[in-house]
Amino acid sequence: MLAKGVVHDTWPQALIAREAEFPTGIMLEQHAIAIPHCEAIHAKSSAIYLLRPTNKVHFQQADDDNDVEVSLVIALIVENPQQQLKLLRCLFGKLQQPDIVETLITLPETQLKEYFTKYVLDSDE
C-alpha cells in the first residue's frame, strides 16, 4: 500500500495503533474475518485490499478479548470519514451472508475483484 502510493508513511503505525485500541476481528457463522482501518488522514487515495492469507492470521475480536483465526482480511483505506462509516455498514450487512463470505475466501484470485464489486459493494440486496 505504501509502495503503491495509496497511503502516507504514517498509515502502518496508525493502523496498528487503532487495531490495538479498537480490534476488528469478527467471528461469523463459518469463518472469521477482520476489517482493519484507521483515520482518513493517513490515506492518499481510497482503496480496498482483500487479503486471503495462506496461514490464518490472529486478530483480536471486536467484541471481546479473545483472538480469532482470520481467513479473510478486508483492509480499508478511505479518504472521507463519512464514506468509511457507510462502507463499514455495507460490509457488515453483506458479510452476514455465509455464501458471500465463503465465495470471497474460495473464489479464484482472477475473479475476486469483480465478485466483490458486484455482490458486496454495488449490490442493493
**Topology of the domain comprising 11-121:** Mannitol-specific EII; Chain A (3.40.930)
Active-site residue 37, yes or no? yes
Q: Which of 8, 31, 37, 58 is catalytic?
A: 37
Tell me if the pTM is above 0.85. Answer: yes
Nearest-10 Cα torsion for 112, 2, 91, 61? 110
Please write the tens of the pLDDT for every residue from 15-57.
999 999 999 999 999 999 999 999 999 999 999 999 999 998 9
Cell of 104: 470471497
- Say if residues 104 and 112 touch (Cβ distance below 8 Å): yes
CA 27 to chain centre: 13
Q: What percent of the chain has pLDDT over 70?
A: 98
pLDDT for res 125: 52
